[in-house]
Amino acid sequence: MSTTPPPVSGAWSTDDPVGDRRFHTFATEHPFAVENGSVLRDVTVAYETWGELNDDASNAILVCHAWTGDSHAAGRSKPGHPAPGWWDDVIGPGKYIDTDRWFVVCPNVLGGCQGSTGPASPHPDDGRPYGSRFPVVTIRDMVRAQWHLMRHLGIDQWASVVGGSMGGMQVLEWAIMYPSRVRSLVPIASCMEASAQQIAWGVIGRRAIRLDPRWRGGDYYDAEPGDGPTEGLAIARQVAQVTFRSDNAFTQRFGRSLTDRAKIGDTFGLWQEFEVERYLQYHGDKLVNRFDANSYLIIGKAMDLHDVGRGRGGVERAMRRITVPNLTIGIDSDVLYPEYQQREMCSMLSLNGVANEYVQIESTHGHDAFLIHFDRVGEPIAKFLDQVDRNG
């Protein structure tokens, strides 16, 4: 086990290698207003691209990441990117989203911590991290920031917007907010509005971070390594990790195994570890090295606030704004975003006369299956994009 103290924040900084990131900064002359009434200036969106934009800019696909994802959707690990792209088996030359054919863009969301403006970013007034000064943002705010990137890239319309989990929320908002800017949609393991249970899981994670004394109300960036809110963030991640997998996945992999039976004998100790405990601890400790506690709070809150019907006369009325073909993908073992939510989405679109297809992935892995079974998610996406391409 490493004795190196964890960083106060796992956020990317300008002192770190850039990797494959590119950056677009907007709101330099006029502020960017977010839904809660606050304004931001000098807003940066970090993004990565693959493939080449064609002459009429008609082959652009936007890929939207999930909660703790980032812009590195494809590519090898390298300086600036400690892990391979989270969808590296899906995006690339000759792959399901074929970059010999499509120009793919993946931005880090507003409020994130991997190059886009977020709580760990320097505030334009004093150069110190925003910390507690960073406002609550919504999925709609994230999409509006992506619209500025779209304009910067010279793209008038996305051939498709694709994303899983929180990425799927962005997909829906793109079609509702900018219906003329998208030709098709692929929401995966997502929902039209966050359910009470989904919000409940988020509340537990936020409370774990808030109760960490090293969180310091969100202003912890000048602390020494090892003195940041890593315990709270790790616990929040452990709670979330339980919802990302299914009961069958945990049972098949860990059962009731203890980490070291040889030391157990016939006695029981309060802190003897089950294998599943070590698994959760691993994922908690892993996240604190690559993510920021405040970004975790901000993005998690945005997911809980997600409701396409808010301020639009309800979900049904909002969904009527979606007029383009879509492929909706659900996962049969998903306990976080159960497949009934995706089926409801498809049913509503069908009633509105929108061309749509529902594909269900069979997997024991739960919500994370779209990040594990690349072939099962990639094949229907490739087929759908073929249709989009043929129909212009």
Residues labelled as active-site residues: 165, 334, 367
237 known ligand binder:
yes
Question: How far apart, in Å, are the Cα atoms of 372 and each of 263, 343, 362, 375?
Answer: 35, 22, 12, 9
Token pair in block for residue 22: 């590119």
Closest by Cα among 173, 176, 166 to 299 = 166
| Long-range contacts from 358-361, C-beta under 8 angstroms, 24+ separation | 358/328, 358/329, 358/330, 359/327, 359/328, 359/329, 359/330, 360/329, 360/330, 360/331, 360/332, 361/329, 361/330, 361/331, 361/332
181 known ligand binder:
no
CA torsion sign, 342 to 97 to 49 to 128?
A: positive
Token pair in block for residue 389: 């391409």
Radius of gyration in angstroms for the set of CA atoms belonging to the chain, rounded to a whole number: 21
Give the integer Cα–Cα distance in Å for 343 and 129.
42
Residue 269 three-state SS:
coil
DSSP annotation of 262? G
Q: What is the dihedral of CA 73, 78, 79, 81, to 10 degrees?
A: 20
Residue numbers in the known binding site are: 237, 368
Residue numbers in the known binding site for substrate are: 237, 368
